[in-house]
Protein backbone atom coordinates (compact mmCIF):
# COMPACT_ATOMS: atom_id res chain seq x y z
CA UNK A 1 0.00 0.00 0.00
CA UNK A 2 1.30 3.44 -0.92
CA UNK A 3 1.39 5.99 1.88
CA UNK A 4 2.04 9.69 2.37
CA UNK A 5 5.80 10.33 2.68
CA UNK A 6 6.92 10.77 6.32
CA UNK A 7 8.49 14.12 5.46
CA UNK A 8 5.36 15.91 4.42
CA UNK A 9 5.34 17.65 1.03
CA UNK A 10 2.61 19.47 -0.81
CA UNK A 11 0.67 16.84 -2.74
CA UNK A 12 -1.73 17.55 -5.59
CA UNK A 13 -4.53 15.05 -5.06
CA UNK A 14 -7.80 14.03 -6.67
CA UNK A 15 -10.93 13.73 -4.57
CA UNK A 16 -13.00 10.68 -5.42
CA UNK A 17 -15.98 13.06 -5.41
CA UNK A 18 -14.56 14.66 -8.56
CA UNK A 19 -15.50 11.69 -10.75
CA UNK A 20 -19.10 11.31 -9.51
CA UNK A 21 -21.29 9.60 -10.71
CA UNK A 22 -18.43 7.25 -11.53
CA UNK A 23 -16.95 5.13 -8.75
CA UNK A 24 -14.22 5.27 -6.14
CA UNK A 25 -12.31 2.66 -8.14
CA UNK A 26 -12.53 4.87 -11.24
CA UNK A 27 -11.11 7.80 -9.28
CA UNK A 28 -8.00 5.83 -8.33
CA UNK A 29 -7.47 4.69 -11.92
CA UNK A 30 -7.88 8.24 -13.26
CA UNK A 31 -5.67 9.77 -10.57
CA UNK A 32 -2.81 7.45 -11.45
CA UNK A 33 -3.18 7.77 -15.21
CA UNK A 34 -3.50 11.57 -15.15
CA UNK A 35 -0.44 11.86 -12.88
CA UNK A 36 -1.94 13.12 -9.62
CA UNK A 37 0.21 12.64 -6.53
CA UNK A 38 -2.48 11.16 -4.28
CA UNK A 39 -6.19 10.55 -3.70
CA UNK A 40 -8.65 11.87 -1.12
CA UNK A 41 -11.39 9.36 -0.38
CA UNK A 42 -14.85 10.84 0.12
CA UNK A 43 -16.72 8.31 2.24
CA UNK A 44 -20.11 8.21 0.60
CA UNK A 45 -22.82 5.98 -0.83
CA UNK A 46 -20.37 3.97 -2.95
CA UNK A 47 -19.74 0.91 -0.78
CA UNK A 48 -16.08 0.74 -1.82
CA UNK A 49 -15.50 4.16 -0.24
CA UNK A 50 -16.76 2.76 3.08
CA UNK A 51 -14.42 -0.24 3.12
CA UNK A 52 -10.85 0.38 4.28
CA UNK A 53 -9.60 -2.93 2.90
CA UNK A 54 -10.93 -2.14 -0.58
CA UNK A 55 -9.50 1.39 -0.46
CA UNK A 56 -6.10 0.00 0.61
CA UNK A 57 -6.24 -2.49 -2.25
CA UNK A 58 -6.94 0.29 -4.79
CA UNK A 59 -4.08 2.36 -3.39
CA UNK A 60 -1.73 -0.62 -3.65
CA UNK A 61 -2.93 -1.76 -7.08
CA UNK A 62 -2.56 1.70 -8.65
CA UNK A 63 0.53 2.58 -6.59
CA UNK A 64 -0.87 5.92 -5.46
CA UNK A 65 -1.23 7.04 -1.82
CA UNK A 66 -4.36 8.12 0.01
CA UNK A 67 -3.59 11.48 1.58
CA UNK A 68 -6.94 12.07 3.31
CA UNK A 69 -10.25 10.53 4.27
CA UNK A 70 -13.30 12.79 4.10
CA UNK A 71 -15.69 11.77 6.87
CA UNK A 72 -19.34 11.16 5.84
CA UNK A 73 -20.69 14.55 6.95
CA UNK A 74 -23.03 15.42 4.08
CA UNK A 75 -26.80 15.40 4.38
CA UNK A 76 -26.95 12.48 1.94
CA UNK A 77 -24.45 10.47 4.02
CA UNK A 78 -26.05 11.02 7.43
CA UNK A 79 -26.68 7.26 7.78
CA UNK A 80 -23.36 6.03 6.39
CA UNK A 81 -21.50 4.26 9.21
CA UNK A 82 -24.44 4.83 11.54
CA UNK A 83 -25.94 8.05 12.84
CA UNK A 84 -23.70 8.79 15.86
CA UNK A 85 -21.38 11.60 14.68
CA UNK A 86 -18.40 10.90 16.95
CA UNK A 87 -18.54 7.23 15.95
CA UNK A 88 -18.35 8.27 12.30
CA UNK A 89 -15.25 10.36 13.00
CA UNK A 90 -13.58 7.54 14.91
CA UNK A 91 -14.28 5.18 12.04
CA UNK A 92 -12.88 7.74 9.58
CA UNK A 93 -9.72 7.86 11.69
CA UNK A 94 -9.48 4.06 11.64
CA UNK A 95 -9.72 4.06 7.86
CA UNK A 96 -7.10 6.83 7.58
CA UNK A 97 -4.70 4.83 9.73
CA UNK A 98 -5.32 1.64 7.75
CA UNK A 99 -4.72 3.27 4.35
CA UNK A 100 -1.79 5.51 5.35
CA UNK A 101 -3.56 8.89 5.22
CA UNK A 102 -2.59 11.66 7.62
CA UNK A 103 -5.70 13.89 7.41
CA UNK A 104 -9.38 13.40 8.20
CA UNK A 105 -11.58 16.12 6.67
CA UNK A 106 -14.63 16.98 8.74
CA UNK A 107 -17.47 19.49 8.45
CA UNK A 108 -18.72 21.41 11.49
CA UNK A 109 -21.93 19.98 12.98
CA UNK A 110 -25.39 20.94 11.83
CA UNK A 111 -27.14 23.12 14.38
CA UNK A 112 -29.71 20.42 15.12
CA UNK A 113 -26.88 18.09 16.25
CA UNK A 114 -26.86 19.92 19.56
CA UNK A 115 -24.89 17.53 21.76
CA UNK A 116 -22.30 16.98 19.04
CA UNK A 117 -21.97 20.73 18.42
CA UNK A 118 -21.71 21.58 22.10
CA UNK A 119 -18.39 19.78 22.56
CA UNK A 120 -17.15 19.84 18.97
CA UNK A 121 -14.04 22.02 19.27
CA UNK A 122 -12.77 20.16 22.33
CA UNK A 123 -13.74 16.79 20.88
CA UNK A 124 -11.75 17.39 17.70
CA UNK A 125 -8.67 18.27 19.75
CA UNK A 126 -9.08 15.07 21.78
CA UNK A 127 -9.39 12.94 18.64
CA UNK A 128 -6.18 14.47 17.27
CA UNK A 129 -4.39 13.70 20.51
CA UNK A 130 -5.60 10.09 20.56
CA UNK A 131 -5.02 9.28 16.88
CA UNK A 132 -2.03 11.44 15.88
CA UNK A 133 -4.02 12.49 12.81
CA UNK A 134 -4.98 15.98 11.65
CA UNK A 135 -8.75 16.50 11.80
CA UNK A 136 -8.98 19.41 9.37
CA UNK A 137 -12.27 21.26 9.96
CA UNK A 138 -13.70 22.63 6.73
CA UNK A 139 -15.20 26.06 6.06
CA UNK A 140 -18.85 25.86 5.07
CA UNK A 141 -21.39 28.62 4.29
CA UNK A 142 -24.78 30.02 5.31
CA UNK A 143 -27.67 28.61 3.33
CA UNK A 144 -29.11 31.44 1.21
CA UNK A 145 -32.73 31.53 0.06
CA UNK A 146 -32.19 34.91 -1.63
CA UNK A 147 -29.73 37.80 -1.65
CA UNK A 148 -30.99 39.04 1.72
CA UNK A 149 -32.23 35.85 3.38
CA UNK A 150 -29.91 33.20 4.80
CA UNK A 151 -29.86 30.53 7.50
CA UNK A 152 -27.02 29.64 9.84
CA UNK A 153 -27.13 25.84 9.79
CA UNK A 154 -23.68 25.00 11.16
CA UNK A 155 -22.45 25.17 14.76
CA UNK A 156 -20.44 26.58 16.33
CA UNK A 157 -20.07 28.38 12.96
CA UNK A 158 -19.54 27.76 9.25
CA UNK A 159 -16.25 29.72 9.37
CA UNK A 160 -13.55 27.83 11.33
CA UNK A 161 -11.14 30.78 11.48
CA UNK A 162 -12.44 32.12 14.79
CA UNK A 163 -12.23 28.81 16.65
CA UNK A 164 -9.42 26.90 18.29
CA UNK A 165 -8.88 24.21 15.66
CA UNK A 166 -5.29 23.10 15.18
CA UNK A 167 -5.95 22.12 11.55
CA UNK A 168 -8.41 23.38 8.96
CA UNK A 169 -9.56 22.73 5.40
CA UNK A 170 -10.24 25.62 3.03
CA UNK A 171 -12.80 24.85 0.34
CA UNK A 172 -12.76 27.55 -2.36
CA UNK A 173 -16.29 26.80 -3.59
CA UNK A 174 -17.64 27.06 -0.04
CA UNK A 175 -15.88 30.41 0.36
CA UNK A 176 -17.53 31.56 -2.85
CA UNK A 177 -20.99 30.48 -1.69
CA UNK A 178 -20.38 32.31 1.60
CA UNK A 179 -19.26 35.37 -0.44
CA UNK A 180 -15.84 35.25 1.21
CA UNK A 181 -12.51 35.90 -0.52
CA UNK A 182 -10.62 32.58 -0.33
CA UNK A 183 -7.19 34.28 -0.28
CA UNK A 184 -8.25 36.46 2.62
CA UNK A 185 -9.59 33.39 4.43
CA UNK A 186 -6.30 31.54 3.86
CA UNK A 187 -4.45 34.48 5.37
CA UNK A 188 -6.71 34.42 8.43
CA UNK A 189 -6.24 30.68 8.86
CA UNK A 190 -2.46 31.05 8.61
CA UNK A 191 -0.44 28.01 9.69
CA UNK A 192 -3.61 26.16 10.71
CA UNK A 193 -4.46 25.65 7.04
CA UNK A 194 -3.50 22.03 6.39
CA UNK A 195 -5.75 21.00 3.53
CA UNK A 196 -7.17 22.77 0.46
CA UNK A 197 -10.20 21.78 -1.59
CA UNK A 198 -9.18 23.43 -4.81
CA UNK A 199 -12.13 24.46 -6.93
CA UNK A 200 -13.90 27.73 -7.83
CA UNK A 201 -17.25 29.51 -7.72
CA UNK A 202 -19.17 32.46 -9.07
CA UNK A 203 -20.67 33.66 -5.78
CA UNK A 204 -23.93 31.83 -6.40
CA UNK A 205 -26.02 30.54 -3.51
CA UNK A 206 -25.39 27.10 -5.00
CA UNK A 207 -22.20 25.27 -4.00
CA UNK A 208 -20.77 25.00 -7.52
CA UNK A 209 -17.33 23.34 -7.27
CA UNK A 210 -16.22 24.74 -10.62
CA UNK A 211 -12.95 23.90 -12.32
CA UNK A 212 -10.30 26.33 -10.92
CA UNK A 213 -10.10 29.44 -13.09
CA UNK A 214 -13.71 29.23 -14.30
CA UNK A 215 -15.17 31.28 -11.43
CA UNK A 216 -14.27 34.58 -9.82
CA UNK A 217 -12.35 33.46 -6.74
CA UNK A 218 -8.63 34.46 -6.65
CA UNK A 219 -7.51 30.85 -7.03
CA UNK A 220 -4.23 31.58 -8.85
CA UNK A 221 -3.27 34.17 -6.23
CA UNK A 222 -4.23 31.72 -3.48
CA UNK A 223 -1.91 29.07 -4.90
CA UNK A 224 0.90 31.60 -5.28
CA UNK A 225 0.38 32.68 -1.66
CA UNK A 226 0.60 29.09 -0.44
CA UNK A 227 3.74 28.45 -2.48
CA UNK A 228 5.36 31.58 -1.03
CA UNK A 229 4.70 30.37 2.52
CA UNK A 230 6.06 26.89 1.66
CA UNK A 231 2.73 25.15 2.16
CA UNK A 232 3.22 21.42 2.75
CA UNK A 233 -0.34 20.27 3.06
CA UNK A 234 -2.63 18.81 0.41
CA UNK A 235 -3.98 20.55 -2.69
CA UNK A 236 -7.06 18.48 -3.50
CA UNK A 237 -9.04 18.93 -6.70
CA UNK A 238 -12.65 18.58 -5.52
CA UNK A 239 -14.60 19.65 -8.58
CA UNK A 240 -17.99 18.93 -10.10
CA UNK A 241 -17.67 17.05 -13.39
CA UNK A 242 -21.25 15.74 -13.56
CA UNK A 243 -21.97 18.00 -16.54
CA UNK A 244 -18.82 17.04 -18.42
CA UNK A 245 -20.95 14.72 -20.53
CA UNK A 246 -18.71 11.70 -20.97
CA UNK A 247 -15.50 10.06 -19.75
CA UNK A 248 -13.25 11.89 -22.23
CA UNK A 249 -14.69 15.30 -21.33
CA UNK A 250 -14.42 14.51 -17.61
CA UNK A 251 -10.76 13.61 -18.01
CA UNK A 252 -10.14 16.79 -20.01
CA UNK A 253 -11.68 18.86 -17.20
CA UNK A 254 -9.53 17.12 -14.59
CA UNK A 255 -6.38 17.58 -16.70
CA UNK A 256 -7.20 21.30 -17.02
CA UNK A 257 -7.63 21.55 -13.24
CA UNK A 258 -4.38 19.70 -12.58
CA UNK A 259 -2.42 21.87 -15.04
CA UNK A 260 -3.88 25.05 -13.50
CA UNK A 261 -2.81 23.90 -10.03
CA UNK A 262 0.73 22.98 -10.95
CA UNK A 263 1.21 26.10 -13.06
CA UNK A 264 0.22 28.43 -10.21
CA UNK A 265 1.75 26.54 -7.32
CA UNK A 266 5.47 27.07 -7.78
CA UNK A 267 6.56 25.21 -4.66
CA UNK A 268 10.19 25.20 -3.53
CA UNK A 269 9.65 22.28 -1.14
CA UNK A 270 12.73 20.09 -1.08
CA UNK A 271 14.94 22.60 -2.93
CA UNK A 272 17.99 24.31 -1.47
CA angle 262, 263, 268 (to 5 degrees): 70
Ordered by start, the domain boundaries in the chain are: 11-264
SS3 202: coil
Instruction: Find out whether the peptide bond into 223 is cis, omega within 30 degrees of 0.
Output: no
Q: Which residues pair with 234 in a beta bridge?
A: 11, 195
**67 near 101, Cβ under 8 Å?**
yes
Instruction: Quick: pLDDT tens for 190-223.
Output: 999 999 999 999 999 999 999 999 999 999 999 9
Quote the CA–CA distance of 195 and 24 in Å, as a whole number. Answer: 20
Candidates 1.20.1340.10, 3.40.960.10, 3.50.50.60, 3.20.20.150; CATH matching 11-264:
3.20.20.150
Instruction: Quick: pLDDT tens for 236-263.
Output: 999 999 989 899 999 999 999 999 999 9
pTM score above 0.85: yes
Amino acid sequence: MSSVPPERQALVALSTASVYPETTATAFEMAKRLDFDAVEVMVGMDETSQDAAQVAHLSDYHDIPVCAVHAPCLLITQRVWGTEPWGKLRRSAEMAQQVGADVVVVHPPFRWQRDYARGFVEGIALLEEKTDLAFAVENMYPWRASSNRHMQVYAPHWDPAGYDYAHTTLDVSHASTAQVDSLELAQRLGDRLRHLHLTDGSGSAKDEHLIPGRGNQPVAALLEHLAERDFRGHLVLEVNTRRSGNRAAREADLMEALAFTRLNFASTVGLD
